[in-house]
C-alpha cells in the first residue's frame, strides 16, 4: 500500500538534516540500549524480565514501558541487536511505527466514510504533525507505538461491531496495544471502547454491546501482566504520586488551535527548555484551517449517529489534552494532543469528502486568507524574531491553497489530495531545516557507533559506577563513550553498571548514591562510597556494592585532591575521566558482598536471577547480596522460607539462622502468575468469542434461502456509481 511506503520515504527527510534525529533523548538514553540488550538475550534463548546486574534500571517488568510482552517488539529487539549503527537501528523501528500509524489513520478515515484519496492524505499527514514528529518519533518511541496501535484498534473495533466481523482482529490489536507497555495506550482502549459502545446504542445495535463488553474484558485482562508489576513494586519506587495539580508544564493552550496549520508556530508552553516551545508541537497539518471555509458541514448531519464515536473520542481527548499537568500517575497532557488531532483530522477529511463548496468563492477565499494571516500573526506574537520565515511560510501556504483549489476543479479528489501530500512533504523539509539542526535536545550529540563505545570502555571490569553529571559533560566525552549517562553504557557492552536510566527508580538506592533517573550523581557520592555501609555492616559501601571499577568525571571532582581509598588505584586517565580499579579480588563469590563474622561463605552458584549459596553458620549471622531488594525476591534457608530484608543502599540482606547450610535467593516478579493467568483467560475468552461468531455466521449463511432466478441484468460493476476520486 502506498500510504505506509510514502510515509517511510518521508521519514528520510529529517535524517538528511540530522542522522540522529530519530535517536534523541529517551530513545537514545533509555529505549534503544535496552532493546539491544534484550534482543541479545532473546537471541541466546532468554526472555529477561529482570536483570540484577542492571540495578536501578534492571527491573524491566516493573518499568513497564519497554513493552517486553509485545511480539513485534521482541522481533524488533532481536533485529536491532545485530545493527552496530545505533542511529540507523532506531530509525528502522521508528519508521516502522510511523508507517503503522499512517496505515491505521487511512483505514480509520475510510471506515467513517472518507474518500480514499483524502484518507491517504490524512494518513500521510498525521505522523508528521508537530508533537508526533518532534516528541514521539524523535524522543519518546513508547508513545508513538501506543498511538499507532490505538489507531489500528479503533478502526478494527468499529469495523467488527458495525460490520458484524469476527472480533479476533480487534482483540489481537488490543493485545498489541496493551503489551506495548505505554499507559496512554490503555487509556486509548478504554476511550475507544466506550465511544463505540455509545455509537452502538445510538444506531440501535444494542445487542452487539454484549460482544463489545466481553471483547473489552478480554483485552483488559491482557493488561494485568503488563501493568500490575509496577503498582506491586511501588513501595520501593518513586512512582507513588497520586495528586491532581497543575504546574503548567507541557500543558497546551486552547489558543494554539488557531495556528495548528502554521508550520513554524511555537506554542507558549512551559517545557524542558523554557516558556516557549523550541519545536512546532501544536502543528497538525497545513491544509486544515485554510480549507475550513470550503467545507460543507451539512453533508454529515444526517450521519451524526453513525459516526458519533468519532465525535466522542475527539471530544474526550480534547478535554484530556487541556487537562491539569498532573492527574494521579498521568502527567503532561501535551502527550494526548496527538489523539485529539487524530480525531480532528478524520472529521476534517470525512467532511471534505463531500467536496469543496463552490458558492461565494470570493468570500470564502477572503476568509481563508484571513485565517492564514492570523496564523502568521499568532506565530509572530509568540516569537517576534521569526517574522521573516513566518511571512514566507504564510505566503507559501496561501500558494498551496491556490494550487489545491485549482487542482480540485481540474482533477477532483486525486488532485486535491496530491497537493495535500505535496504540502506535507515540502513543509516537512522546511521544519527539518528550521528546527532540527539547532534543537537543544540534541545538544550533546548521540553515540552511534557500538565499536567506538566498546573500545572506550574496554578497561571497565566487574560492577562499574560512573560518578558524573550532565552539567559540565562535554559532547566528545559522551559521543566517544568516555562518560555515558542513562542506558548508553549497555551499548558499550558493560552489563554490570550501577548507573542506569530508570523511570521508576529505587528510592533507597538513588538516595544513597545521590543519583537521578538518568544515572547522574553528585560529588558527595564519591565520599559515600568509602564510608561504612551502616553501623552493623562496618565495611565501605563500595564493598557492599561489589564495586570493581569507579569512573570519575574530572569536571565533577578531582580524585587526586585527597589520598585514594585503600585498595584502589587509578588505572587510566584521559581528558574527561579518571578510572579507579580495585587492586585485590573480591572476598566473596557470586553476588554475596558481605557476611557477618563467624558466617563462612563456601560457594555460590547463579542460575539466571536465582542464586544458591553454601554457608557454614555455627552461630548464624547476616548475609548481604549486591543486588537491590526489589519486591518479588524470596529467600529459602535450608528449605524454610524467610523474609528478605533491605540493607544499605537498598541491597538484599538475609538473616541466616544457626546451623544453616544453604541459602537460596529467587526472584519472581510480583503479579507474574496472576498476570499470566489473566492473559490466558483473556486469550481464551477472545477465542471463544471468535468461535461463537464463526458458528453464528455459518448458520446465518446456511439459513438464508437461495435467491430466485430473475431476468438478466447488466454486471453489477458496470452500474456501480464511481468514486469522484
SS3 233: helix
- As a whole number of angstroms, the distance between CA 517 and CA 25 comes to 13
- Residue 704's pLDDT is 65
Tens digits of residue pLDDT in 477-529: 999 999 999 999 999 999 999 999 999 999 999 999 999 999 999 999 999 99
How far, CA to CA in Å, does 364 sit from each of 262, 294, 360, 394? 19, 7, 6, 17
- As a whole number of angstroms, the distance between CA 665 and CA 667 comes to 7
CB atoms within 10 A of CB 691: 12
What are the strands, taking DSSP E only, across 515-597?
547-553, 568-573, 577-582, 592-595
C-alpha cell at 326: 498532573
Distance of CA 657 to the CA centre of its chain: 46
> SS3 for 453-498, per residue?
HHHHCCCCCCEEEEECCCCCCCHHHHHCCCCCCCCHHHHCCCCCEC
SS3 322: coil
- Residue 242's pLDDT is 74
CB atoms within 10 A of CB 387: 12
- Residue 240's pLDDT is 61
10-residue mean pLDDT series, the chain (725 residues): 95 97 97 98 96 96 97 98 97 98 98 97 98 98 98 98 94 98 97 98 95 98 97 88 86 96 96 94 98 94 94 98 89 96 98 94 96 98 96 98 97 98 98 95 92 96 96 93 96 95 96 96 96 96 98 96 95 96 95 96 93 95 97 95 94 96 96 98 98 88 63 38 38
The count of C-alpha atoms lying within 13 angstroms of the C-alpha of 580, restricted to the half-sphere facing its C-beta, is: 24
CA-atom Rg of the chain in angstroms: 29
Widest Cα–Cα separation across the chain: 104
- Residue 709's pLDDT is 59
Distance of CA 230 to the CA centre of its chain: 16
Q: With beta carbons less than 8 A apart as the criterion, state whether 483 and 553 touch.
A: yes
- As a whole number of angstroms, the distance between CA 665 and CA 623 comes to 11
- Residue 697's pLDDT is 85
Which residue, 436, 501, 439, is CA-closest to 470?
501
List domains and CATH numbers for the chain.
Answer: 2-442 (no CATH), 450-582 (no CATH), 592-667 (2.60.40)
- As a whole number of angstroms, the distance between CA 261 and CA 259 comes to 5
Query: Which segments of 383-480 does DSSP mark as H helices, in order?
Result: 387-435, 450-456, 475-479
- Residue 472's pLDDT is 86
DSSP string over 605-637: EEETTEEEEEEE-SS-EEEEEEEE--TTEEEEE
- Residue 725's pLDDT is 38
Amino acid at each position: 500500500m502506498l500510504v505506509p511506503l510514502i510515509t517511510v520515504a518521508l521519514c528520510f527527510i529529517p535524517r538528511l538534516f540530522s542522522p540522529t534525529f530519530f535517536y534523541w533523548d529517551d530513545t537514545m538514553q533509555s529505549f534503544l540500549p535496552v532493546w539491544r540488550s534484550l534482543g541479545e538475550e532473546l537471541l541466546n534463548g532468554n526472555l529477561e524480565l529482570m536483570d540484577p546486574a542492571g540495578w536501578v534500571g534492571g527491573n524491566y517488568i516493573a518499568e513497564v514501558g519497554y513493552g517486553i510482552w509485545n511480539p513485534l517488539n521482541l522481533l524488533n529487539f532481536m533485529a536491532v541487536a545485530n545493527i552496530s549503527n545505533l542511529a540507523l537501528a532506531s530509525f528502522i523501528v521508528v519508521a516502522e511505527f510511523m508507517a503503522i500509524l499512517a496505515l491505521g489513520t487511512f483505514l480509520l478515515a475510510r471506515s467513517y466514510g472518507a474518500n480514499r484519496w483524502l484518507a491517504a492524505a490524512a494518513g500521510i499527514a498525521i505522523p508528521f504533525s508537530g508533537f508526533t514528529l518532534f516528541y514521539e518519533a524523535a524522543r519518546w518511541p513508547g508513545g508513538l507505538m501506543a498511538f499507532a496501535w490505538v489507531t489500528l484498534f479503533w478502526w478494527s473495533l468499529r469495523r467488527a461491531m458495525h460490520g458484524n466481523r469476527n472480533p479476533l482482529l480487534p482483540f489481537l490489536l488490543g493485545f498489541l496495544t496493551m503489551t506495548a507497555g505505554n499507559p496512554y495506550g490503555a487509556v486509548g482502549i478504554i476511550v475507544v471502547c466506550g465511544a463505540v459502545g455509545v455509537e452502538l446504542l445510538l444506531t440501535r445495535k444494542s445487542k452487539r454491546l454484549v460482544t463489545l463488553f466481553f471483547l473489552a474484558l478480554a483485552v483488559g485482562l491482557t493488561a494485568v501482566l503488563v501493568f500490575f508489576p509496577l503498582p506491586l513494586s511501588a513501595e520501593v519506587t518513586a512512582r507513588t504520586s497520586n495528586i491532581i495539580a497543575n504546574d503548567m508544564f507541557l500543558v497546551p493552550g486552547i489558543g494554539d488551535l488557531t495556528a495548528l496549520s502554521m508550520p513554524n508556530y511555537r506554542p507558549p508552553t512551559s517545557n524542558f527548555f523554557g516558556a516557549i516551545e523550541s519545536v512546532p508541537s501544536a502543528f497538525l497539518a497545513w491544509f486544515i484551517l485554510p480549507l475550513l471555509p470550503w467545507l460543507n458541514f451539512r453533508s454529515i448531519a444526517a450521519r451524526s449517529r453513525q459516526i458519533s464515536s468519532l465525535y466522542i473520542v475527539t471530544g474526550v481527548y480534547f478535554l484530556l489534552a487541556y487537562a491539569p499537568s498532573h492527574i494521579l500517575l498521568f502527567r503532561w497532557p501535551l502527550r494526548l494532543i496527538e489523539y485529539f488531532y487524530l480525531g480532528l483530522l478524520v472529521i476534517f477529511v470525512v467532511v471534505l469528502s463531500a467536496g469543496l463548496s463552490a458558492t461565494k468563492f470570493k468570500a470564502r477565499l477572503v476568509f481563508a486568507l484571513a485565517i492564514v494571516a492570523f496564523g502568521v500573526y499568532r506565530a509572530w506574537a509568540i516569537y517576534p524574531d521569526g517574522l521573516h520565515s513566518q511571512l514566507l511560510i504564510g505566503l507559501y501556504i496561501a500558494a498551496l491553497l491556490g494550487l489545491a483549489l485549482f487542482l480540485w476543479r481540474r482533477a477532483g479528489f486525486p488532485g486535491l489530495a496530491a497537493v495535500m501530500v505535496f504540502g506535507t512533504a515540502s513543509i516537512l523539509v522546511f521544519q527539518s531545516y528550521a528546527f532540527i539542526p539547532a534543537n537543544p535536545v540534541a545538544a550533546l550529540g548521540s553515540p552511534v557507533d557500538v565499536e567506538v563505545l566498546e573500545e572506550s570502555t574496554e578497561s571497565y571490569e566487574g560492577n562499574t559506577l560512573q560518578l558524573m553529571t550532565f552539567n559540565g559533560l562535554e559532547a566528545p566525552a559522551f559521543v566517544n563513550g568516555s562518560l555515558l549517562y542513562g542506558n548508553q553504557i549497555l551499548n558499550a557492552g558493560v552489563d554490570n553498571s550501577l548507573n542506569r536510566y530508570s523511570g521508576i527508580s529505587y528510592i533507597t538506592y538513588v538516595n544513597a548514591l545521590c543519583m537521578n533517573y538518568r544515572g547522574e550523581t553528585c560529588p558527595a557520592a564519591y565520599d559515600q562510597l568509602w564510608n561504612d555501609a551502616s553501623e552493623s555492616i562496618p565495611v565501605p559501601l563500595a564493598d557492599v556494592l561489589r564495586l570493581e571499577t569507579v569512573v570519575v568525571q574530572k569536571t565533577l571532582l578531582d580524585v587526586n585532591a585527597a589520598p585514594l581509598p585503600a585498595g584502589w588505584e587509578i588505572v587510566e586517565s584521559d581528558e574527561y575521566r579518571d578510572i579507579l580499579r580495585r587492586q585485590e579480588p573480591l572476598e566473596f563469590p557470586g553476588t554475596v558482598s558481605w557476611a557477618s563474622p563467624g558466617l563462612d561463605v563456601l560457594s555460590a552458584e547463579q542460575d539466571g536471577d536465582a542464586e544458591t549459596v553454601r554457608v557454614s553458620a555455627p552461630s548464624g549471622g547476616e548475609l548481604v547480596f549486591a543486588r537491590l531488594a526489589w519486591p518479588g525476591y524470596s529467600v529459602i534457608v535450608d528449605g524454610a522460607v524467610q523474609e528478605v530484608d533491605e540493607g544499605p543502599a537498598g541491597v538484599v540482606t538475609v538473616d541466616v539462622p544457626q546451623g544453616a547450610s544453604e541459602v537460596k535467593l529467587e526472584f519472581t516478579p510480583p503479579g507474574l502468575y496472576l498476570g499470566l493467568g489473566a492473559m490466558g483467560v483473556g486469550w481464551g475468552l477472545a477465542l471463544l468469542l471468535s468461535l461463537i461468531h464463526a458458528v453464528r455466521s455459518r448458520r446465518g449463511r446456511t439459513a438464508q434461502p437461495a435467491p430466485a432466478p430473475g431476468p438478466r441484468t447488466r454486471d453489477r460493476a458496470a452500474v456501480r456509481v464511481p468514486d469522484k476520486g
